[in-house]
């Protein structure tokens, strides 16, 4: 996990970011370059919430990316499982809806256009289409998030505290 901090730090430095060693107003950081560097790096690694959305700097963290950012690969994997289940139910429901509607349309067409076929339309394809529609609705309503909003905010706070401790930065100073 600490390796990720160093990867992010290396990326920031390689992209042209340079820490400010001292503030012109004489605030925190003056006289202690290591502390100023740690605080500056912390501001780039911390996760904040605006409403229900989590951000690292100005990048929004959604889905499994959020759980990976707070160093919880177990929750990221759970998110992917729930999302895959949700997509599968929706996909199968859509397929059943389409197949039932096509079958029902063909069935009605045959029943109405060919009087010699002695064919009556059956309700089975329409039942399949309705079941498919229900599955699409249920699939879209299934949750993907393995954590509630307050739990996600607590995960972000814990991550920020661990990051500040690793860097030796005071998270209350910016």
- Alpha-carbon distance of 108 to 121, in angstroms, equals 6
Q: Where are the beta strands (DSSP E) in the chain?
A: 47-50, 53-56, 59-61
**What is the chain's percent helix, strand, coil content, to nearest 5?**
65, 5, 30
Q: What is the pLDDT of residue 50?
A: 85
Residue spans of the domains in the chain: they are 2-63+147-167, 76-141
Tens digits of residue pLDDT in 12-35: 555 555 444 444 444 444 556 766
pLDDT tens sequence across 43-52: 677 888 888 8
Q: Which one is predicted more confidently, 32 or 112?
A: 112
Indicate the average pLDDT of the chain.
80
96, 97, 98, 101, 129 from 121: Cα distances, Å: 18, 18, 18, 13, 15
Residue 67 in this model has a pLDDT that exceeds 80: yes
Query: pTM, whole model, 2 decimals?
Result: 0.68
**pLDDT value of residue 170:** 64
pLDDT of amino acid 43: 67
């Amino acid at each position: 996990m600490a390796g990720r901090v160093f990867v992010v730090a290396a990326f920031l430095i390689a992209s042209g970011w340079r820490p400010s060693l001292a503030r012109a107003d004489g605030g925190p950081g003056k006289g202690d370059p290591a502390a100023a560097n740690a605080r500056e790096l912390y501001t780039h690694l911390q996760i904040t919430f605006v409403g229900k959305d989590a951000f690292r700097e100005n990048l929004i963290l959604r889905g499994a990316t959020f759980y990976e950012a707070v160093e919880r690969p177990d929750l990221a994997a759970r998110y992917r499982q729930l999302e895959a289940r949700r997509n599968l139910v929706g996909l199968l429901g859509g397929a059943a809806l389409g197949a039932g509607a096509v079958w029902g349309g063909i069935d009605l067409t045959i029943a109405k256009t060919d009087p010699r076929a002695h064919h009556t339309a059956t309700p089975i394809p329409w039942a399949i289409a309705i079941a498919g529609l229900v599955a699409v609705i249920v699939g879209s309503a299934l949750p993907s998030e393995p954590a509630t909003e307050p739990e996600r905010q607590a995960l972000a706070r814990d991550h920020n505290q661990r990051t500040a401790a690793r860097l030796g930065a005071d998270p209350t100073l910016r």
